[in-house]
């Protein structure tokens, strides 16, 4: 059993073949799909996905940092409304992204901190999006650290030192297609990180692993990530699947 801890199955890129794509993933051994939120414009698509695949998908709720704009307070109110009225398995994906735009940094910091507090209130994990913002992310995690702070550092692309720091805040490292890239860098030190700290993800339809890099990603391609971890850790495919799925259960509680 393989768990994809981060996949946008509701993406419009899957509109033509969503059912077939999910079936391909199941055939490849993926039996659990954790679905991150982006903003209010995607909520209906997420709920529809859950309705169609109630035994396969597990929804998160949160405001993605690149969706933190002038209306971020309305978006946060939308998140709060939903987490108060039904069950979700994580608050995510949340965090800070300074790659494209730095003009909303203060608002991203506020949104990140606010949603962490909600996660603690609900006893839920957080799923962190970090791009060009490790220092800013770590500053907030340092302020919020404790036994009630835990989750996943989604699409981890940092250094070994940053990996160890993330782990110190009770975060698992989300490993996906980047680990298969020639310039991905994390494959150079991952063998020094215990497998108990690793979970698998695709971030589909983004970040397709080699040999699909540059094409649409899908959850079935997670097996290419497992193959890479087999090479890195020197253990079997089944062992990677077993350990990382167990790690996901520790995070999400299921």
Q: Is the peptide bond before 93 cis (omega within 30 degrees of 0)?
A: yes
Q: In what order do the strands lie in the sheet with 151-153?
A: 91-97, 126-131, 151-153, 171-175, 198-200
Q: What is the mean pLDDT of residues 40-48?
A: 98
Torsions phi, psi of 239, nearest 5? -70, -40
Cβ atoms of 28 and 242 within 8 Å: the answer is: no
Give the pTM.
Answer: 0.97
Higher-scoring residue by pLDDT: 184, 26: 26
The predicted structure's pLDDT at residue 159? 96
pLDDT tens figures, 136-148 = 999 999 999 999 9
- Residue pointed to by tokens 């506020």: 110
* All structural domains of the chain: 2-252 (3.20.20.140)
The predicted structure's pLDDT at residue 215? 97
157: pLDDT confidence band, cut at 50, 70 and 90? very high
Nearest to 36 by CA among 100, 85, 79, 84: 79
The predicted structure's pLDDT at residue 54? 97
Q: What is the mean pLDDT of residues 218-233?
A: 98
């Amino acid at each position: 059993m393989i768990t994809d801890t981060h996949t946008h199955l509701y993406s419009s890129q899957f509109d033509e073949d969503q059912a077939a794509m999910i079936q391909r993933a199941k055939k490849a051994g993926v039996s659990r799909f954790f679905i991150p939120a982006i903003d209010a414009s995607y909520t209906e698509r997420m709920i529809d996905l859950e309705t169609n695949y109630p035994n396969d998908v597990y929804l998160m709720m949160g405001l993605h940092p690149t969706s933190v704009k002038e209306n971020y307070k309305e978006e946060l109110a939308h998140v709060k409304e939903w987490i108060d009225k039904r069950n979700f398995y994580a608050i995510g994906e949340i965090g800070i992204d300074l790659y494209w735009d730095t003009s909303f940094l203060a608002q991203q910091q506020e949104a990140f901190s606010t949603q962490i507090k909600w996660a603690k209130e609900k006893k839920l994990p957080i799923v962190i999006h970090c791009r060009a913002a490790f220092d800013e992310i770590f500053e907030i995690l340092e302020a919020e650290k404790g036994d009630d702070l835990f989750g996943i550092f989604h699409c981890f692309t940092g250094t070994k030192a940053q990996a160890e720091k993330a782990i110190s805040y009770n975060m698992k490292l989300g490993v996906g297609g980047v680990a298969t890239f020639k310039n991905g860098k994390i494959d150079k030190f991952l063998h020094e990180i215990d497998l108990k700290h690793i979970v698998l993800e695709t971030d589909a339809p983004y970040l397709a692993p080699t040999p699909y890099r540059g094409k649409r990603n899908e959850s079935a391609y997670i097996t290419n990530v497992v193959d890479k971890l087999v090479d890195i850790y020197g253990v079997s495919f089944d062992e990677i699947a077993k350990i990382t799925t167990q790690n996901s259960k520790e995070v999400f509680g299921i």
